[in-house]
Amino acid sequence: KQLGTNRISYAQSLTKKNIKGILTGPVTMVQWSYPREDLSIEAQYYDVAQAISEEVNELVSRGIQHIQIDEPAIREGLPLDESRRNHYIHHATNAFRLTHYNTPDNVIIHSHICFSNFVDILPTLSDLEVDVLSIEDSKSQGRISQAIMVSGYERSLGLGVFDVHSNRLPSLNELKSIPQYLLSQGYDPRKIWINPDCGLKT
């Protein structure tokens, strides 16, 4: 922990631009690991969330103003049994909010969720209470951002505008097509962030 925060402090000292601290969210950590069998899955979400919260506070204390807490598995964890979904969503969103509940107003909280069918959890996205929600949108040709916009989502969207897994360089018109569509539908340009899908590969 100390080594990581020392490194990000050093990285921030090398530039006047903001460095973003990136962490993995509690639901994803538990879903993509081997959960304990002597504790409920919900209890494990909260335990991990508390540990992440300490990491977030450490980043804040180092002056990091952009913190991204990725939660790509939140849709994946949705139970097939619809009667159990509200219970899952309640604890998944509460655990996520626990990771950043006491950050100062000047700290921008980001999250990234991977390509998935988000129709089932659209109301949940607002409940995460992040400032910027980054999505993979190039492979779906903008359909995900359109669905999120239609749902009434009011926070900022980080639009994935090209597929980092492809060796083909997209044209400028391709990169502009998704944000231009949202702008044509009245989306606030101050709430659009331009990103590659799923992070930038070297």
Catalytic residues: 165
What does the DSSP assignment read for 137-158? -TTTTTHHHHHHHHTT--SEEE
CA distance 159 to 135: 6
Residue found by looking up tokens 């980054």 in the block:
134
Burial of 81 (0-12, 13-18, 19+ CB in 10 A): exposed
CA distance 67 to 12: 13
Residue 199 tokens, joined: 């992070």
CA distance 193 to 131: 11
CA distance 93 to 128: 6
